A = this chain, B = another copy of it.
């Protein structure tokens, strides 16, 4: 039997916990609602305890919602720092699990976890460097280079880049509390909802707003392509479940680049260059398993 690892996608709504060696060998899984840190982390520990006691698992990856402290030299390494989510500010997620189970914990943020999962087993498999972008309640990107998420001075926060905002066509001022009309402030799920007064799911496919949304996403992708030069880009998150956005985004990326990035991935095979995720709701927890394996 393959070596087993624990994987936790620690999200703001639920913790997805798995014991697995990969997507084809998931031996146990659970969804634990995110309530208080005490209750949620206690149930998480209880889920893994039998596997640890049986010495089937000695390393667990955590892909955690944030903001989180990823600096191993910091006294608050592995903590959720300041979050608007009630009860969770200054929670030592990594430390609580590590002290209860006494196993190795590989800790990263949720988007880096999903990026690593899609790189190792999903739609970005074999593509190094590659980019995973999630467009949902927030917008975040994970860049995998040399098999690992890029860790710079801090983890990237590429959802907050500045892009052109055509106020004539889209007078919405943006909803980012820090930057107002940065990419996230213009294009995340709550920004769509704020424009229409209803959830994005209720907006029909032929609403002209989707052209605007696709242009924002394309402008951001062009900036990432020119800066990071990934070999493939996976777009996940709630907004991108509207799959007919993909062709619009691809066309806009090609139009904006205008032949400048001379590579067949972008010029001839853009359908294979900007793609949906392949691991579904498990990209984060499988990414956490990959984190544990990467060490």
Residues of A at the B interface (CB closer than 8 Å) are 129, 141, 143, 145-146, 150-165, 178-179, 219, 222-224, 226-231, 256-263, 265
Q: Would A160 and B129 be within 8 Å (CB), given that A227-B224, A230-B153 are in contact? A: no
Contact B161 A164 (CB under 8 A): no
Number of copies: 2
Closest beta carbon of chain B to A62's beta carbon, Å: 21
Q: Which of B146, B165, B229, B265 contacts A156 (CB 8 A)?
A: B229
5 closest cross-chain pairs (CB), A and B: A152-B229, A161-B223, A178-B260, A158-B227, A153-B229
Instruction: Kindly list chain B residues whose C-beta atoms are within 8 Å of the C-beta of A154.
Output: 229, 261-263
Contact B231 A156 (CB under 8 A): no
Q: Which of B141, B226, B263 contacts A158 (CB 8 A)?
A: B226
- Known contacts A154-B263, A163-B163; 13 further A-B pairs (Cβ under 8 A): A141-B227, A145-B150, A153-B230, A154-B229, A154-B262, A156-B227, A157-B226, A157-B260, A158-B226, A162-B256, A178-B257, A179-B256, A179-B257
Instruction: Kindly list chain B residues whose C-beta atoms are within 8 Å of the C-beta of A179.
Output: 256-258, 260
Instruction: Kindly list chain B residues whose C-beta atoms are within 8 Å of the C-beta of A178.
Output: 257-260
Q: Which of B160, B256, B265 contacts A226 (CB 8 A)?
A: B160
Contact A160 B260 (CB under 8 A): yes
Instruction: Kindly list chain B residues whose C-beta atoms are within 8 Å of the C-beta of A164.
Output: 162-165
Instruction: Kindly list chain B residues whose C-beta atoms are within 8 Å of the C-beta of A143.
Output: 227
Q: Would A222 and B161 be within 8 Å (CB), given that A156-B229, A260-B179 are in contact? A: yes
CA distance A77 to B60 in the complex (A): 44
Instruction: Kindly list chain B residues whose C-beta atoms are within 8 Å of the C-beta of A260.
Output: 157, 160, 178-179
CA distance A222 to B159 in the complex (A): 12
Closest to A128 in B: B152
Residue in A154, A165, A223, A224 whose Cβ sees the most chain B Cβ within 10 Å: A223
Closest beta carbon of chain B to A7's beta carbon, Å: 25
Q: Which of B157, B159, B223, B228 contacts A162 (CB 8 A)?
A: B223
Instruction: Kindly list chain B residues whose C-beta atoms are within 8 Å of the C-beta of A163.
Output: 162-164
Residue in A165, A179, A231 whose Cβ sees the most chain B Cβ within 10 Å: A179
Instruction: Kindly list chain B residues whose C-beta atoms are within 8 Å of the C-beta of A146.
Output: 146
Contact A227 B223 (CB under 8 A): yes
Q: Which of B152, B231, B256, B262 contacts A228 (CB 8 A)?
A: B152
CA distance A150 to B155 in the complex (A): 17
Instruction: Kindly list chain B residues whose C-beta atoms are within 8 Å of the C-beta of A262.
Output: 154
Contact A228 B229 (CB under 8 A): no
Contact A227 B227 (CB under 8 A): yes
Instruction: Kindly list chain B residues whose C-beta atoms are within 8 Å of the C-beta of A227.
Output: 141, 143, 156, 158, 161, 223-224, 227-228
Closest beta carbon of chain B to A285's beta carbon, Å: 25
Contact A231 B152 (CB under 8 A): yes
